[in-house]
Amino acid sequence: MKSLFFLIPILLLSYSIFAQQETKTGNSNPSLREGNSLYLKKDYAGAENMFQKALAINNVNPVTYFNQGDALMQNKKYEDARKSFNQSIAHTNDKQLKAKAHHNIGNAFAQEKKWQGAVDAYKSALRLNPADADTKYNLAYAQKMLQHEKDQNKDKKDDKDKKDDQKDKDKDKDKQDPDKKDPKDDKKDPEQKDKQDPDKKDGDKGEQPKPQDGPMSEKQANDILNSLQQNEKKVQSNKNKQGTVPVKLDKDW
């Protein structure tokens, strides 16, 4: 099975061809050749710098842009790589080179798991070269990953919608049940609750008499009784002096 991120080797074969053409026309670009050499040695940072120098000499060479994009891919600079490949496409009429550039743009998107971008780029490559088996394979894989991503996002959205619906139902239920106890009430200070609830019976000074400090002793009761008897005798004595009928004191306490 071929790798998803298959890096097209055809660009390496193109170096010598374009280098020979440049030599024949007297437009040799030593920086381009040096960049190709460094790339083959896997010195991708050095190759990237050399391709940039080559573009300073000739900024319309589609192969230099393509090779620069490939070096940037190796250095994991995927956004910059896509820009270089797009420049290669813009500066050539060669359908095969354009197809390869679109293919590598798809690879750059796939490396970042940007599956929609990868799918679009692979489709563009196949329009220019419908027989490219590597691009067909990458397109099928990217489409599968894109669908998986959409399914996951849909599941997350469905879960969120269910939770939101449940919250709305709970709120509606609370509104319909005014007698439902607010759990926050349990956290209130008991003394504060007494102050806020004027109808509370327990401890309500307005309705309950203040309890006595303790039971009355027998001596206290006798003292109170004797005092009442003395007062009663005085009252009766005053009434007798005034000619009134005496009233007998009831001692059954």
Q: Which residues of 69-95 are buried (b: 16+ CB within 10 A; e: fewer)?
A: bbbbbbeebbebbbbbbebbbebbebe
pLDDT tens profile 20-66: 344 443 457 899 989 999 998 999 999 999 999 999 999 999 999 99
In this predicted model, what pLDDT tens digit does every residue of 95-154 receive, in sequence order? 999 999 999 999 999 999 999 999 999 999 999 999 998 899 999 999 999 999 999 988
Answer left, alpha or beta for residue 193, where phi above 0 means left and psi between -120 and 50 means alpha.
alpha
Question: Other C-beta atoms within 10 Å of 236: how many?
Answer: 16
pTM summary value: 0.56
Q: Which two tokens stand for residue 202?
A: 């327990």
- The domains found in the chain, sorted by start residue, are 10-150 (1.25.40.10)
